[in-house]
Chains A and B, each alone.
Chain A
Amino acid sequence: MNSAQIEIQLIASLVAIACAIPGTFLVLRKMALITDAISHSILPGIVIGFFITQDLSSPLLIIFAAISGVLTVVLVEFIQKTGLVKEDTAIGLVFPALFSIGVILIGQNANDIHLDIDVVLLGELAFAPFDRLLWGTTDLGPKSLWIIGSILIITLTLLLTFYKELKLSTFDIGLSAALGFSPAVMHYGLMTVASITTVGAFDAVGAILVIALMITPSASAYLLTKDLKKMLVLSIIFGVASAIIGYWIAHGLDTSISGSMTSVLGVIFFIIYLFAPEKGYFSVRYRRKQQRLEVSLLTFLVHLQNHEDDETERHVQHLNEHINWQQVRSKSVLELALKNNMIVIHNDSITLTKKGKSFTKKAIDYIVTDKDAKIEAMKDRFFLFRG
């Protein structure tokens, strides 16, 4: 590993961390797509900034881009407030228009502008180490490292200072307003941080990876935990992991670093989406199946209870047609009830045991008094075997 490689990985990791922090809050606030809008609509800001400064690496460019990012947010909110269209439509209308203006501006001046749209979308992380910050003759390291480093420090300071307020306004906007924290200040503060991060990051990694780095690590972390602190830490870990693994894959295949980082993020998300212990695809599927079976069991037991005196109603064969279940389903319900000692089968007719009776009685009690939530706890007490 030479120093350029280390620097690239360092820049990528810092970008990942800087994106993960605002990204987590955006995902929690259901504003994930605003990053999509910002990352596209900063293009005209950059182009206009370039016309004025004639220097692609001028820090003024970042300011112009950040302004057009915030402008996007303001425009989207203005359109939304008119009530003419829904919020998502407002986002979808604003950023393509701004992006088109940027593309046209570049096209019109294609001859005297060294700004390639591909670079805007993809970034060129591989060249980042060659653009160095010089102090006199001393080499201070790559410029992007300094830019993203300072953005990260600002973001971290803001996060640590306003953690409480951010958390509060994210989860209970009404309470935070009542306690005197202006939700608008929090909102626009977060938007400004997101814009600046997007701008700073996209210089290095391109617009698309910025979106991926903001949304994917936090969405993956959100599937694993409900704790905000853990979620922040996890998303930072995922981001950094994708940066380092992605770099080496790109190195091996000789492809775009941002592309492979995004793909690694995709793999991480896919695995978590499928296998997350509580919120993952398989466990949700399994839980739903279990719940369906348990509801059936309850229906079945109540039915038995109702027909305590009627032998024919409690005949094994009869149940099938009576509750109108298919063969397999009634069989699994019957087995579950037997396993849990809720019923006994005698001469092909089913009788509730003492345990079954008290279970049914309690369940009906809860349902009638509208305390459905208590049934879950009750199930834990009665069930030895789950569906």
Chain B
Amino acid sequence: MNITEYITLLFTDYTLRTITLGTAILGAICGMLGSFAVLRKQSLLGDAISHAALPGIAIAFLITGTKDNTLLLIGALVSGLIGAFWIRGITRNTHLKSDTALGLILSLFFGFGMLLLTYIQKQPNANQAGLEDYLFGQAATLLLNDVWLMAIVTAICLVILLLFWKELKMLLFDEEYTKTLGFNTRFLDILITTFIVVAIVMGLQTVGVVLMSAMLLAPAAAARQWTNSLGVMVILAAIFGAVSGTIGTAISASHNHLSTGPVIVLIAAVFVLVSFIFSPSRGLLFREIRFRKNRTDLELHKTLSFMFSIANAHEDIAHPHAIKILNNFQGYTKRTLQQLELKNYVTIQGNMWSLTPLGYKTAANLYNQLITTNE
């Protein structure tokens, strides 16, 4: 299947269109809210909450006995919220650190959820099949109604985010200051945590419990590399999330035996990798290039100032000297000498070099600056 065929299929096939829309919206909302989680150093909160949602799904099923998606998601929401606020309680009231609290909630809730799931599997109820889909997600089960629900929730999140934009931004970067200005930081904290829980619960059906945290983190971590502005970061993260959702769905739809969730996560991981390496201001590649450039610059200046000190000892500045007297210790390499010649600081004749007037002037400048800064 080539790309044009796929695109026509995208517009004609109901299931594919629904799934693509669903994953794209999911990616966008996760990216948006994930930015806040990443900046608040709560990256793994998502992981804990998504695991904590599992017993909620199981209990909702046990109580209602139906597999109505909305009911199960409400169950997930409730138990996710309980998990999230218990984590806060543990870090607040005891000396256990947040990593321990997260690990506790994650494993205990999930284990309890699995207990309930295995219990349900033994029940004589034909309806139970498919509950395990929540573990790894089953994007194919998305219906148009689910997509609508996602879209509405995303819209609500967006509106509230915009309403509290100033406050949330301030909370992210300076919590104490926000408090002293009289804002209710506790309310804002609860607001943002609740939204993160909502986003996670929305994604459970598609990506599943285990991989949900990556959906939240990866787009935000990638977006962070390109900008220092919160607004731009949130928008970029939403775009990255939506694109990885779309591409992930496309890849998994066009191959057999490829579950959507893991593919989306891997695409998002590719975004992160590319951002880590190629981002112009923070990326590893440009950082290394800058680093090398600074080093050669420094060595070039070192050589130049050494030449200056030699030339200064002679009456004639342009008096030629042997290249041999330059050594590594003075930052000399063949390349630095070439560059010096290129910049017209020295002229080279055979094995001899001599400073040009321009080189002398630059070096004198450099030398004087060195002396003044040393004092």
* A residues neighboring B (CB under 8 Å): 27, 30-33, 35-36, 40, 79, 82, 84-86, 88-89, 91-93, 96-97, 99-101, 103-104, 107-108, 110, 117-118, 121-122, 208-209, 211-212, 214-216, 219, 222-223, 250, 253-256, 258-263, 265-266, 269, 273, 279-281, 284-285
Contacts and interface: CB of A to CB of B under 8 A. Distances in A.
Contact of B93 (A96, A262, A265, A285): A285
B93 A281 contact: yes
A113 to B, nearest CB: 11
Interface string B90-118: 10011111011011101111111111111
Contacts of B262: 99-101, 103-104, 107
Given A107-B262, A262-B114, 5 more contacts: A32-B99, A93-B218, A223-B96, A259-B112, A262-B110
A208 B210 CA distance: 11
A287 to B, nearest CB: 11
Contacts, number: 194
B44 interface: yes
Interface residues of B, number: 59
A88 B44 contact: yes
A160 B90 CA distance: 32
Nearest to A94: B269
B136 interface: yes
Given A85-B38, A118-B132, A104 B258 contact: yes
A216 B104 contact: yes
Contact of A212 (B90, B111, B225): B111
B107 A215 contact: yes
A30 B102 CA distance: 11
Given A84-B282, A100-B211, A219-B100, A279 B95 contact: yes
Given A212-B107, A262-B107, A103 B96 contact: no
B112 A263 contact: yes
18 contacts: A31-B99, A36-B47, A79-B276, A92-B47, A96-B210, A96-B211, A97-B269, A100-B211, A107-B257, A211-B103, A212-B108, A212-B111, A219-B100, A219-B104, A222-B96, A256-B115, A259-B112, A262-B111
A124 to B, nearest CB: 11
Interface string B211-230: 10110011001001100000
The winner among A27, A96, A108, A281 for most chain B CB atoms within 10 A is A96
